[in-house]
Amino acid sequence: MGESVLQDWVTELSFMQQTVLITAIRGCDLETKHGHTKPFVKALRGCILKSANPGTNDFMDPNYIDTHRHWEINLGCGRWKACFDVGHFPMHWVSHAMHASMIIAYMHPDEVTRDWWAEHVLTHFLDQVGHLQLEPKASMIARLTDGVRCKG
């Protein structure tokens, strides 16, 4: 089999977890090309995909943690928080994005990345949706185990 566009850590996940990640990288159909959720979608792509054009950032942002730090220093936290102003988006897309973020926060092999997604992404989604609680890791793994492969 040839090389995959998915980062190696993603290919170690169950097929169901991979599918959740892949469905979220499209972004919301109601969002414009340069809409306010684009930084989130670019960060998501940078976390799970290999770049076909390293050095460009039109499609993905593999340096999303540094980008976020730059925004906090130069623009304040409002720019990043605006990515999660999702009240007018369909809950279907919001749930894809939130579940993909949860997989990264629980399953990414790099602790700094896991912690960043938990602190700077999941918390904003949960704040926006309001009535949800974070699913425990064991429950998520059980729900997204497909019987083919499972890493936990």
**Res. 15 pLDDT band, cuts 50 70 90:** very high
What confidence score (pLDDT) does residue 66 get? 79
pLDDT for residue 16 is more than 90: yes
Question: In 10 A of CB 59, how many CB atoms?
Answer: 14
Give the highest mean pLDDT range of 31-45, 61-75, 105-119: 105-119
Sketch the domain layout of the chain as residue ranges: 8-143
What integer pLDDT is reported at residue 2 of this predicted model?
82
Nearest residue to 47 via CA among 123, 126, 105 = 105
More confident residue, 60 or 131: 60
Look at the block and give the residue holding tokens 């700077």.
120
Q: pLDDT at residue 19 above 80?
A: yes
- Alpha helices by DSSP H, listed for the chain, are 8-11, 15-24, 38-48, 64-74, 78-81, 91-107, 111-117, 123-129, 137-143
pLDDT (tens digit per residue) in 69-127 = 766 665 555 666 666 677 778 888 888 888 999 999 999 999 999 998 888 788 877 77
Average pLDDT of span 123-142: 81
Give the residue-averaged pLDDT of 16-34.
Answer: 89
Tell me whether residue 61 is exposed, middle or buried, using C-beta atoms within 10 angstroms of its C-beta: 0 to 12, 13 to 18, 19 or more.
Answer: buried
Query: What is the chain's mean pLDDT, rounded?
Result: 82
pLDDT higher than 80, residue 64: no
What global pTM score does this model have? 0.84
**What mean pLDDT do residues 11-25 have?**
94
**Rounded CA gap, 16 and 143, in Å?**
9
